[in-house]
Structure 1
Amino acid sequence: MNQPSVETYHEDGKWKNKVEGKARATKTFDTKAEAVAAGREQAMKLETEHVIKNMDGKISEKKSYGNDPRAPKDSRG
């Protein structure tokens, strides 16, 4: 995937979204649900991967919204 991924994570008491490679978060949120929804929207717009982390920093979920080279091929022909 050529586009940098969007990461949702917890830091300093807030949930944040950041595009990979950028120094700062694009936006902060009070709840994980709000951050995940906004991160998903941003990843869809950028056609990239959305990486969601728990409060401890471990990845809990990944979703691809782009041209994933590992996506299963259509077997219908």
Structure 2
Amino acid sequence: MSSLLTIALGPLSVVLREFPRQGTSLMTSRNQHVVPHANGWAVKSAGGQKATAVYETQSAAIARAREIARNQESELLIHGRNGQIRERDSYGNDDFPPRG
């Protein structure tokens, strides 16, 4: 998880920058998304314009995205047909047990 450094200036607050919490890393750039595609389901890297791969079934796309996420120690985000994230799994440097 990441945190924001916020400074309160009276009624205003300013966010200076994002930084990782101690013992964690920011994993946003390598996250793998499984998203709907015209030809089935696509695996895309976060921020990527093109699909890494396209599969006929969501389960095939999830299997490939999970393999990539494990290899890169990043997150897997699975989107539903409506585009909303319906499931996520992390293979990175997480706190265990989870906080909260």
| TM-score computed with the length of structure 1 as normaliser | 0.84
Q: Give the alignment partner of residue 2 of structure 1, picking from 7, 17, 26.
A: 26
Letter in 1 for 2:80: N
Residue 72 of structure 1 is matched in structure 2 by: 96
CA drift of 1:15 comes to 0.3
Provide the C-alpha distance between the structure 1 equivalents of 2:48 and 2:91, rounded to a whole number of angstroms: 20
Give secondary structure in 1 for the equivalent of 2:33.
strand
CA drift of 1:2 comes to 2.9
Residue 71 of structure 2 is matched in structure 1 by: 45
Q: Tell whether 2:58 aligns with 1:35.
A: no
Point out the structure with max Rg over C-alpha. Answer: 2
Structure richer in strand, relative to its length: 2
Give secondary structure in 2 for the equivalent of 1:7.
strand
Q: Unpaired segments of 5 or more residues in structure 2?
A: 1-24
**C-alpha deviations, 1:23-46, integer Å up to 9, x for none?**
111000000000000000000011
Q: Tell whether 2:40 aligns with 1:14.
A: yes
Q: Unpaired segments of 5 or more residues in structure 1?
A: none
Equivalenced residues, count: 72
Letter in 2 for 1:72: F
**C-alpha deviations, 1:5-35, integer Å up to 9, x for none?**
1000112132000111111110000000000
How high is the sequence identity, in percent, across the aligned residues?
Answer: 31
Letter in 2 for 1:53: H
If asked which structure has higher relative contact order (CA below 8 Å, sep 6+), I would say 1
CA RMSD of aligned residues (A): 1.6
Structure 2 contact 39–54 (Cα < 8 Å) conserved? no
